Amino acid sequence: MEQNMVQLTIDGRGVSVPAGTRILDACAAAGVRVPTLCHLPEVSSNASCGVCVVEVEGAKSLVRSCVQNVGPGMVIKTNSPRVQESRRTIVELLLANHPADCLSCARNGSCELQALSDQMGVRRLPFPRTRKKPGLDDAGYSLVRDNDKCILCGRCVAVCRETQTVSAIDFAGRGIRTRVSSFMDRSLANSQCVSCGQCTVVCPTGALVERDETDEIFAALADPDRVVVVQTAPAIRASLGEALGMKTGSLVTGKMAAALRRLGFDKVFDTQFTADLTIMEEGSELISRLTNGGKLPMITSCSPGWITFIETFYPSLLPHLSTCKSPQQMFGSLAKSYWAEKAGVDPSKITVVSIMPCTAKKFEAKRPEMRDAWKWWKEKGKTYGSFFDVDYALTTRELARMIRRAGIDFELLPDEDFDDPLGASTGAATIFGTTGGVMEAAVRTAYELVTKKPFPVMELQATRGMEGIKSAELDLEGTKLKVAVAHTLKNARAVLEEIAAGKSPYAFVEVMTCPGGCIGGGGQPVAVDQKKRATRQKAVYEEDKRLPIRKSHENPSISAIYKEFLGKPLGHLSHELLHTEYKRRDV
């Protein structure tokens, strides 16, 4: 059907756009970039800030272009003196209640308000402060909330409510007392927040950021009594370059390893090693449930925000979760048990640092049950002071800050390899970084373990892409197996409701907390959109294709660790170090 087109004039030029187009998008189509602040595609467009105003001939007042549709014959001016004065006044009013600590703010250089102030030519602050300075919410392991920097744009409220269906925050109060708040003004750490960090990705200022632990890492690296090892999540190689100014989707695996060595890490390992290990354990667990009448569907347990979500909102469905720890936590257990013993290093002197695309990983590392390496040594009669398996989890953004702070010219670094034995991985582990990747990796291995035949197609196209819920049907020697993939907690909720109602047709379900999976994680470069996530996803799949081994069970280092140490998947030692249980979370 032919689309109705609307003719209008923008800044003296004739423009033709489809009926129903917003003025903001029509301007973009005409090559005019109207500034915005509260508006963010896919997340929020509530016209709360007024920065996007334009002048429409015949209208008495300026029009907010992010919510107003075009009309036939409209004559629009985007840069008239009236428009410029209005935008500048809006920004000046926002700055009246905004702290002037840009130089020490985590968002310095990536703050949208800072950039807009420069664009509007704001050089004075004529308005007095009208808002009482609120306290800092820094009680949690993952997120820090500074309402003094909040501009009430509503992006965080929208992403928490609409994308994640968590609704941990909302608007409260009226007039100058309006604020973004959790229930009863509690700290986020004592709310139903799941630490996913999507609010930090969409926040235009520094009102919501990750807890920065870079100073602690620099101190550990400078301590001669510490052995500091690092692991890097699959999605980091497709986003770190972007955080350092390179093109979105740049694959920087080798440069990342080189940069970490230059920062001073004693060993540079890869979380992808334990992603392969996760597939061995999780695939074996699925086969065991299928053959022994276990609870189905089995749901993946790699994403910590998702784990907190099901613990909080659907605790009755916890038996459906795989008992496998996430690859991050498997790595920590093995680094301070298997590797410590193999390298002859006192495990209490090892600092394990994770580089993750995720703010929830910070919370996961501090879960009280994540001390299994310490328990293992204790059972062997070695008494050390209690320690966590993983000491610190840094986001992509934090690692980028460390690299810049150290003066490392990232783009000029030569490619380097990861260290052995916890650095070898496969293409299956790489695709853990995107929605559908865990499922595809698991299927590549589970199919061959069951049928003893090669998986007929390496790429499982049915579970790829950015659709919210995807499904596929597999044929395991005559046994039909339905599987599903969901990303974002809104889509996870839909799958859980189906399971709770006893109507789920699936045997295996992958859930990722964030849009696009880890490539869209809460610790990734800010202001991400669907196009950027898709570009990062493409980079992850490209790395999978070029790796010589693409199935987890064919990783020689995985075979070696079972032979030397773990014994077998789902064995006694595997259960001690690689598995856990999840419990109801009350808030």
Catalytic center residues: 282, 285, 302, 322, 361, 364, 369, 518
Give residues with Cβ within 8 angstroms of 226, minimum separation 6.
220, 349, 350, 351
Cα 513–520–98 angle (5° rounding)?
100
3-state secondary structure of 481: strand
How many other CB atoms sit within 10 Å of the CB of residue 558?
25
Asked if residue 64 lies in contact with residue 52, where contact means CB atoms within 8 angstroms, the answer is yes
Give residues with Cβ within 8 angstroms of 257, minimum separation 6.
232, 268, 415, 416, 417, 418
> How far is the CA of 234 from the CAs of 17, 199, 327, 338, 475, in angstroms?
41, 22, 10, 22, 29
Q: What φ, ψ does residue 568 adopt, rounded to 5°? A: -155, 160
Cα atoms in the 13 Å half-sphere on the side-chain side of 7? 2
> How far is the CA of 317 from the CAs of 245, 293, 295, 583, 584, in angstroms?
43, 17, 10, 10, 10
Partnered with residue 180 across adjacent β-strands are 171
Report the C-alpha gap between 463 and 512 in whole angstroms. 13
Report the C-alpha gap between 295 and 317 in whole angstroms. 10
What count of residues does the chain have? Answer: 587
Detail the DSSP E strand segments found in 198-330.
208-210, 227-232, 267-268, 298-299
Closest CA to 502 of 320, 321, 324: 320
Report the C-alpha gap between 492 and 470 in whole angstroms. 11
Helix, strand, coil in percent for the chain, rounding step 5: 45, 15, 40
DSSP conformation class of 510: E
Cα 45–50–55 angle (5° rounding)?
110
Report the C-alpha gap between 505 and 468 in whole angstroms. 17
DSSP conformation class of 122: -
Q: What φ, ψ does residue 556 adopt, rounded to 5°? A: -60, -35
Tokens of 495: 């799958």
Asked if residue 438 lies in contact with residue 286, where contact means CB atoms within 8 angstroms, the answer is no
